[in-house]
Each structure stands twice: as C-alpha cells, then as structure tokens.
Chains A and B, each alone.
Chain A
Amino acid sequence: MADRRGALVSAASDARVLFGAAVLLALIVAAAAAPLLAPHDPLEQDLLASFLPPAFQAGADPVFPLGTDSLGRDLLSRLIYGARVALTVALVAASLAALLGTALGLIAGYFGGWVDAVISRLVDVWMAFPPVLLSIVLVAIIGAGLHSVIIAIVIIDWTRFCRVVRAEVLVQREQDYVASAVTIGLGRWRILWHEILPNLLPLLLVLITLEMGIAIIVEAILSFVGLSVSSDQATWGGLIQEGRLYIHQAWWIMVLPMACIIVSVLGLNALGDGLRRTLDPVMRR
C-alpha cells in the first residue's frame, strides 16, 4: 500500500497534475452546481441590458459580472451552464470511445490474424475521413442534440484508442512476463485481462484525459456550426458563434467562452501529461 500511496503523492506533487486536477474539479463543480452558482437564468433575456461589458470595463452593470450578450442574457450564467454541456460530452464521449476502441485494440493486438486484419482495415478506412467534416455530417444526419454529439464523437474517435492500444499490446505481448504466464498455465483471456490490461492502464488514463479535451473542442465546433444542442441552450461553442457576429461591438461574448475552452483543454492536457510521467512504475524509476 505504501507504494501506491507514494505514486499518488508523487502524482499530486506534480505541478501539471495539480493544475489539471484543479481545472477538472472546477468544471465538475460548475456543471453539478450550475443552478446554485449561476446568478441568473441563462435563458432570461433583458433586451434593455444587451451588450453590457464585463464588470472591469466602463459602463458595466454589477448585476452582470461578465456582461451580457445580444439578447441581454447574463454571460456568466451562460458560461456556467455551458460547462455542464461540455463536461457531460467530455466524460461520456471519452469513456465510450475509450471502451469501444480499447476493446477492439486489445483483440486486434493480442489475437492477430484475420481479426487484426479486419479491425486494422476498419481503422484505416476511418482514418481516411476528416474528423471535423465527418462529425458535422454525422450530426446533420442523426439530428442535432446532446446524444448526437456524443454518438458522433464516439463513432469518430474510437480509432484513436484502437490504434494506440493495439500497438502497445503488440509490444507487451512479446514481453517475457506473458510467456511466463503461459508456462504457469494461464488462459488467453486471463492473460489479456490480468496481465496485459493492467500494464495499459496508465496509457489509457492519459488517452482518456486527452480525449476529454478533444471532446470539448468537438462539441464547441458543432455548436459553432450550429449543429449541437438546441440553439437556445447555452454552450461555449454557441456563444463563440454569437460573439463572432458582434466582434466589433462586444468582444467579450466571443473571448470569454474561448478562454473557458482553452483553460479546460490546457488543464486536461496537463493532467494527462503529468499522469503519464508519474503513474508509470517503469518511468518513475
């Protein structure tokens, strides 16, 4: 036990991990407690108070700390509710993509042969599509909405996991500990599950954190194009799209949600990077 705690302590003392964990925690709190945190209803319009600047600028109204948008909706509240959408997409889409991709990657890498050939070819076909265009087309077909966004991300991004996991399994499969597991009579599934998979966990953890960042971006792109959740619901991408129209008169409508995305992705990347360095027992040496 001492060792595992040691790993966590050393992970926690890594500045990147701390920063990333703080960002993730902030996202979770914002998403979970949105109704409590948000000063206004994100949909409440006040046309008299449209285009109010954030509190630190002249002409601001302290009721709207980060200003308002074109319809006079409170930006802070919209950003907080936007975090809800972003985090949901990030968590669900990344986990599902990881599940699908890892399963296929494990099977392809460990069993090889025609299974591997089929899966690898499937990945090749998938990789031949531009992900952004494909997700836009997919959502256009399935119809806008949170579910569609998640489905589109899973359908597109499982290959990221599949490729990396398959390559890593090929490496691990040749290690002598696998041969040793055969000599003590362990079955193939058991070796895959108990021997190889634990060695992939740090890698998977890193990939999932990175994928969460990607999912946030994809959701923003889809909202930006107007294909994500319904347009009256607050999303970061939707805000950016709206802000772009008023860029000359109210820069904050675009810049603030952009900052939210950038900080979230930076945090998740830092978390993944830090975990990679601290969690791997061999690298930790």
Chain B
Amino acid sequence: MSAGYLLKRLLLAIPTLFGVLVVVFVLLRVVPGDPVTMMVGLTASEEDIARLRELYGFDKPIFTQFLIYLGDVLQGDLGVSITRKQEVLGLILGRLPVTLELSLFAMAVALLGGMMLGVLAVYRPGRGGELVADGFSGLGLAIPDFLWALMFILLFGVLIPLLPISGQIDPRLGFEPASGFYLFESLLIGEFAAFQSVLSHMVLPAVALAIPLAAIIARILKSSLQEVMTQDYILLARARGFSRLRIVLREALQNALIPTVTLSGVQFTFLVGGTVLIERIFSYPGLGNMAIEAVINRDIPLIQGIVLTFAVMFIALNLIIDSTYVLLNPRVRHG
C-alpha cells in the first residue's frame, strides 16, 4: 500500500507539472499585449521587433508555440537568457545548489527549533516552557521572513556587527566548489576556513527563513500533542507508570507528528519560496536573487526557467512530505 500510495502521488504530479507548464507559458506569452515589446521596451525599432518575433517563434499560432515550448522543455532546452546571453539551464544549475543548501539548512533549523518548542510546551504545561513556546510562535507567525531578515541586518550587521549580512562566502578565500554546494563540499574536503565563512554567511538568512516555519511547527505540534495527551492510550500509558517524558516522546510524539506534517507541509514550500526575497536582501547569489534580477530585466526565458525550477522543487518537496506522512502513519502504510 505504501509504495502504491506514493506511486499514485508521483503519477498525480505529472498532470500538475503539465499544468505548471501551461501556466508558465500562458503567463508570459499571452497576458497582456506583446512579450517582445515587454522584453525590449518601447524604444526598439519595428524591424528589431519583427526579427525577435521570428527568432522566438512568436509569429506562429499560440498552440504551435506551446507545442514547441513543451518539446524544448522536455529536451532540457529552457532557451537562452536575453540579458546574460547564456543557456538558461546552465544558469539555473549553477545557482540551484546555493538555494538548495540554504533551504535545507533553514528547514533543519526550523524542524529542530519547532519540535523542541512544541514538546517543551506540552512537557512543561502552564509553566515557562509553554509561555516561551506560545510567545515565540505568536511572533513567528505574525512577522514574515523578510522582516526578520531586515531586523537581523539591523541588529547583527549594523548595531552589533557579529555576522556577515551580504554574500555567501568571504571572496578573499577564493573557494570555488566543483559541485556548487559550498557548505557540504568545504566540510567534505576539509576546507574549514571556507566552511566557517559559508556557515556564518548562511546563519542569518537561514534563521530568518526558519522562524515562520518553526513557529507553525511549534504551534501545530503543541496543539496536536495536547490533543493526543487526552487519548485513552496515553491514559493507559500513565496508568502503566511510564514517566511523563517517556510518554510525550515515545507514545505521543509520533501520533502528534501526523497532523503536524499534514498541516505544516505546505509551509515547507513557503520556506523555499521565501528564498527569493531573502536572497535578495542578503545579496545571496542563489536562484531567487537571479529571479528578481530577471524580472527587473524582463528576461522572459530566464523567468520561465526559474519559475519552472521552483515548481519542480515544490512538487518534489510535496512528494517527500507525503512519504514522511506514510512513514509516520501505519494506517496509510498498511491501509
């Protein structure tokens, strides 16, 4: 059943992906007016526009255009960036590891922090633990990641300059990872100076990204733990003389994680989506930063490529969350 469930999810991702392609295509070719004019602005000559039209196939019927686009994408051809004059795919693959690394690190921080707070609130109800958890999740939910980022810049960049607030690594180190994964590779090959620099650059953006997710996880985990703690099997565990910590961690936590995963799953994608702005704020050379540049420069092939890449990442992330759900819940596993 579990393999079947996941297979079904995987197959359902195909129409979603197709829908994404349609939207990406329609978004940038149909609405409203002329994409070429949008790209080159109003100053270009009539001939230039006509030449570009032909070059990008905009003179063909819209359906044909879509088929061509679909064919290209399936072959891994995302077109050429107008401003950078490079293959879009290559540009994206160059930046992707940076964003992935940042997102994964932020997720780990969020999971760890959120779960610790959620458990703390239930383990010590009505006392310091619960108050701290409630206060944190209240603030974390109200303040979006980009405001946290700006506050961190003010705090740790200007008032108490502890951590770097711009870039990904100290450029003087001249560290260029072959894989594109700065943190992993520097650790792997023992470049500790580089590792330290990458890590210190990553802390502020990652924590800013992590706080809203951690707040959501803490809040949902707390309320589902509270719900689970009233169940008969928990009463029974108490009636068996298990200690409270053991009950919370071994009997209740897994049950409470099931709704937590379901309800906070979408927030993981929001975290990844948040990198767009956070990277911009911290001048972090990732995919999101490039996306905003592309929007400002009206580099349509690049925008399409990046939006598509994010969509694929989101779909993959949702699949991973689904499999976590399957792992946690024996009912789905054995259905």
Q: Please determine whether B147 and A130 come into contact, CB atoms closer than 8 angstroms.
A: no
Given contacts A124-B16, A128-B20, A141-B28, whether A133 and B276 have CB atoms under 8 Å apart is yes
Q: Does B154 sit at the interface, judged by CB under 8 A?
A: yes
* Residues on the B chain within 8 Å of A221, using CB: 144, 146, 277
Residue of A nearest to B165 (CB): A247
Q: Are B142 and A129 neighbours in the complex by a CB distance under 8 Å?
A: no
Shortest Cβ distance from B93 into chain A, in angstroms? Answer: 18
**Among candidates A121, A141, A266, residue contacting B15 with C-beta atoms closer than 8 Å:** A121
Q: A224 near B16 (CB under 8 angstroms)?
A: no
A141 contacts B27, C-beta separation under 8 Å: yes
**Are the CB atoms of B15 and A129 closer together than 8 Å?**
no
A residues less than 8 Å from B276 (CB atoms): 130, 132-133, 136
Q: Is A240 touching B27 in the complex (CB atoms < 8 A)? A: no
Q: How far apart are the CA atoms of A283 and B54 in the complex, in Å? A: 63
Q: Is the CB of B307 within 8 A of A133?
A: yes
A128-B142 contact, Cβ under 8 Å, with A133-B306, A141-B31: no
| A125 and B150 alpha carbons, distance in the complex (Å) | 31
Residues facing A in B260-294 (CB within 8 A) are 266, 269-270, 272-274, 276-277, 280-281, 288, 291-292
Contacts of B138 in A (CB 8 A): 266, 269
Q: Is A137 an interface residue (CB 8 A)?
A: yes
Residue among A131, A136, A221, A227 with most chain B CB within 10 A:
A136
The distance in angstroms between the C-alpha atoms of A124 and B28, with both chains bound, is 20
B307 touches A134 (CB 8 A): yes
- With both beta carbons as reference points, the residue of chain A lying nearest to B310 in the complex is identified as A130
B-side contacts of A217, CB under 8 Å: 144
Contact B158 A127 (CB under 8 A): no
Is the contact region of chain B dominated by helix, strand, or loop, or is it mixed?
Answer: helix
- How many Å lie between the Cα of A132 and that of B154 in the bound state? 23
- How many Å lie between the Cα of A217 and that of B27 in the bound state? 23
Task: State whether B28 touches A129 (Cβ < 8 A).
Answer: no
| CB proximity to B under 8 Å, residues A146-169 | none
Tell me which residues across on chain A come within 8 A of B150, comparing CB atoms.
Answer: 240, 244, 254, 258
The distance in angstroms between the C-alpha atoms of A138 and B303, with both chains bound, is 11
Given A124-B16, A124-B19, A221-B277: A131 and B153 interface contact (C-beta under 8 Å): no
A140 and B142 form a contact (CB under 8 A): no
The answer to the question of A11 belonging to the interface, with a C-beta cut-off of 8 Å to chain B, is no
How many angstroms from the CA of A141 to the CA of B298 in the assembled complex?
A: 9
Residues on A with C-beta less than 8 A from B19 are: 121-122, 124-125, 128
Answer whether residue A255 sits at the interface, using C-beta atoms and an 8 A cutoff. Answer: yes
A136 in contact with B151 given A128-B16, A221-B146, A265-B142 (CB within 8 Å):
no
Beta-carbon contact of B315 and A128 below 8 Å: yes
Q: Is the CB of A127 within 8 A of B310?
A: no
Question: Taking the complex as formed, is A26 at the interface, i.e. its CB lies under 8 A from any CB of chain B?
Answer: no
A164-207 vs B, CB cutoff 8 Å, 1 = contact: the mask equals: 00000000000000000000000000000000000000000000
Contact, CB under 8 Å: A127 / B266: yes
Judged by a CB distance under 8 angstroms, whether A262 is at the interface is yes
In the complex, which residue of chain A has the Cβ closest to the Cβ of B23? A125
Q: Are B314 and A127 touching (Cβ within 8 A)? A: yes
Contact, CB under 8 Å: B20 / A125: yes
- Determine if B50 is an interface residue (Cβ-Cβ < 8 Å): no
Give CA–CA (A244, B166) in the complex, Å: 13
A261 with B147, Cβ < 8 A, contacts A128-B314, A130-B314 known: yes
Number of interface residues of B (CB under 8 A): 49
Residues of chain A in range 206-252 having any CB-CB distance to chain B below 8 Å: 213, 217, 221, 224-225, 227, 240, 244, 247-248, 251
Partner of A121 from the list B16, B146, B153, B310 (CB cut-off 8 Å) is B16
Cβ contact within 8 Å between A251 and B274: no
Tell me whether B303 and A269 are in contact (CB under 8 A). no
Known: A131-B273, A221-B146, A269-B142. A254 touches B314 (CB 8 A): no
Q: Closest CB of chain A to B212's CB: distance in Å?
A: 11
Contacts of A137 in B (CB 8 A): 27-28, 295, 303, 307
B141 at the interface (CB under 8 A from A): yes
Contacts of B303 in A (CB 8 A): 137
CA distance A224 to B153 in the complex (A): 15
Q: Does A142 contact B (CB under 8 A)?
A: yes
Q: Are B270 and A131 in contact (CB under 8 A)?
A: yes
Q: How far is the CB of B120 from chain A (nearest CB, A)?
A: 21
Closest to B306 in A: A133
A131 to B275 Cα, complex, angstroms: 11
Does B258 lie at the interface of the complex (its beta carbon under 8 Å from any beta carbon of A)? Answer: no
Give the residues in chain A near B157, CB-CB below 8 Å.
Answer: 247
Interfacial residues, chain B to chain A (CB-CB below 8 A):
12, 15-17, 19-20, 23, 27-28, 31-32, 38, 138-139, 141-144, 146-147, 150-151, 153-154, 157-158, 266, 269-270, 272-274, 276-277, 280-281, 288, 291-292, 295, 298, 303, 306-307, 310-311, 314-315, 318
Can you offer 19 A-B residue contacts whose CB atoms are under 8 A? A121-B16, A122-B19, A124-B12, A125-B16, A125-B20, A128-B19, A133-B288, A134-B307, A136-B292, A141-B28, A141-B38, A221-B146, A244-B281, A247-B158, A258-B151, A265-B144, A266-B139, A266-B142, A269-B141
User: Contacts A129-B310, A251-B158 given; 18 further ones with Cβ under 8 A?
Assistant: A121-B15, A122-B19, A127-B269, A130-B272, A134-B307, A141-B32, A142-B32, A213-B142, A224-B146, A225-B277, A225-B292, A240-B150, A244-B153, A244-B281, A262-B143, A262-B147, A266-B142, A269-B142
A-B pairs, top 8 by smallest CB distance, nearest first, are A130-B273, A125-B19, A266-B142, A128-B311, A265-B142, A124-B16, A128-B314, A217-B144
